[in-house]
Amino acid sequence: MTRLKITNMRFINNRFFLFLAFAFLGLNLAVAQEIIPEKVKDSVKPAVTIPAGGKLKVDGVVAVIGDFVVLDSDIDLTYKELQAQNIPIAEVTRCELLGKLMEDKLYAHQAIQDSIIVSDADVNETMNRQIDYFVENLGSPEKMVAYFKKKNLETFKAELFEMIKNQKLTEQMQKKIIDEVEITPEEVRQFYAKFTKEDLPTFGAEMEMAQIVVKPEITQAEKQKVIDRLKQIKKEVEEGASFYSKAVLYTEDKASASSGGYIPVSRKAQLVKEFKDAAFSTDEGKISEPFETEYGFHIIYVEKIRGQELDVRHILMVPKVTPEALAKAKEKIEKIRAKIINKEITFADAARSESDDKETRNSGGLLMNPRTLETRFELTKMDPTLYNQVADIKDNAISDPIVEQDRLGTPSYKIFTVTNRYDEHPADYAKDYTKIKDLALKEKQIKTIAKWSAAKIKDTYVKVNGEYRDCKFANNWVKK
């Protein structure tokens, strides 16, 4: 058995990892369909010749899967997107990329057959975020339209809407297949037993860390300023102004600003309780009174009620932190740090009694890795900002106070400590059971998807054209 080394929580070979990365590139890949790279690396052999000085648009249909098609230009654009994501492409062939594109179309086709529904509201929300991203990077809506070679913004939005909808159908179908896969302890044991001592996966260096957060106190006067401003906006809308326009101009929720503060709400939506309570207690066509959440103060406009689903627009405003309040927060966290250093209190006890971060306070300040839902963080996969904050902390030491702003720009002070370090090591069944279980589950998911694909290909109309019929696909697309 070839030695299998997992430094970054990987157990599959690099080529398959590339395809997993490609599968989740999402809309950046999908919307690039009409852009042909000016130059393709020597290692990439396009099926067509690109003139030395220009661009070439390729519209040839190379494959049909159910109701979907793949163009030759899609493959060129996929190479460009992979390069933009810094994913190595030297050993990736056009046949392999075509196979991956056909898999995505198969998922979307089957999602329609299975009556999987993607709401227009969900698509519009994603489309607005994507357009914001493009505009931010390209400079203006006009430059975005020109870059994608569309007639106007309306045409671009219409095509983008369909691409996003198909992408979401693909994601929902993939999720449906994977969600049905479970792994038993015996299967985990068998997975681990397959490896010899020399072939055991290797897990990278990790650390556990804890934090104490002190947030500046927001004065009642600052809160009242925001409440009064929201009440004024509410009054202006009730007198005829556009809530949409007010949200674009004034909301501090950047994620929803460009869509006029739009947020789809349902009972199952991952929203704070206060927001959902306000949404479901406001009548259709009405605007709520200002209310507070952990993010600030809101007013919401219930645009449409559809049973247990609501179309809601909101405006968020955040009370400002005064210089005096920020100085008091710094003074408080410095005193906490001094008590810990002087052994008057442990870091964990100080976190439980003094930290303002409710997510880590009860665990003694221990941070939870959002990727794995464990307390260990693999160094090579840590968020760069967090890594820079903790990388130089010595054992049993406490960092100096660090001022940090949240996504809404509100500052707070933090101190960190490293509670445990774990060197790179071969997988240990007892110590690394959770990670080994994840690897075993991923392997089973891959096998399940392969089995599902083989069955659906037999039952789906598939046609591969031209020279691509000679490709050696992983799946039986040519149905030989």
**Domain spans of the chain?**
203-217+322-426, 220-317
Of residues 11 and 74, which shows the higher confidence score?
74
Tell me how far apart the terminal alpha carbons of the chain are, to the nearest angstrom.
Answer: 31
pLDDT at position 195 is 92
Task: Tell me what pLDDT residue 289 has.
Answer: 95
Predicted confidence at residue 30, as pLDDT, reads 35
d(CA 378, CA 383) in angstroms, rounded, equals 10
Question: What phi, psi does 400 have (nearest 5°)?
Answer: -70, 160
This prediction has a pTM of 0.57
Question: What is the average pLDDT across 262-285?
Answer: 88
Whether the predicted pLDDT of 371 surpasses 90: no
The set of residues, in sequence order, having a beta carbon less than 8 Å from that of 370 and lying 6+ positions away, is none
- At the topology level, CATH places domain 220-317 in Chitinase A; domain 3 (3.10.50)
pLDDT digits (tens, 9 = 90+) for 238-273: 999 999 999 999 999 888 888 899 988 888 777 889
The answer to whether 210 touches 367, Cβ cutoff 8 Å, is yes
Name the least confident of 150-159, 181-190, 438-447.
150-159
Provide φ and ψ at 374, rounded to 5°.
Answer: -120, 170
Average pLDDT, the chain: 82
Given the candidates 3.40.640.10, 1.10.3720.10, 3.90.650.10, 3.10.50.40, the CATH classification of the domain at 203-217+322-426 is 3.10.50.40
Q: What is the pLDDT of residues 420-462, one digit of tens each?
A: 998 898 999 998 898 899 999 999 999 998 899 999 999 999 9
Give the HSE-up count for residue 402: Cα atoms under 13 Å, Cβ half-sphere.
Answer: 18
In tens, the pLDDT along 300-314 reads 999 999 888 889 999
pLDDT above 60 for 11:
no
pLDDT per residue as tens digits for the range 16-74: 333 333 433 433 333 332 222 233 333 333 333 333 333 333 458 999 999 889 888 77
C-alpha angle with apex 312: 311 to 318, nearest 5 degrees? Answer: 160
Q: pLDDT at position 220, please?
A: 92
CATH topology of 203-217+322-426 equal to that of 220-317? Answer: yes
Q: For residues 251-279, b (16+ Cβ closer than 10 Å) or e, as one string?
A: bbbeebbbbbbbbbbeeeeebeeebbebb
Asked whether the beta carbons of 407 and 420 are under 8 A apart, the reply is: no
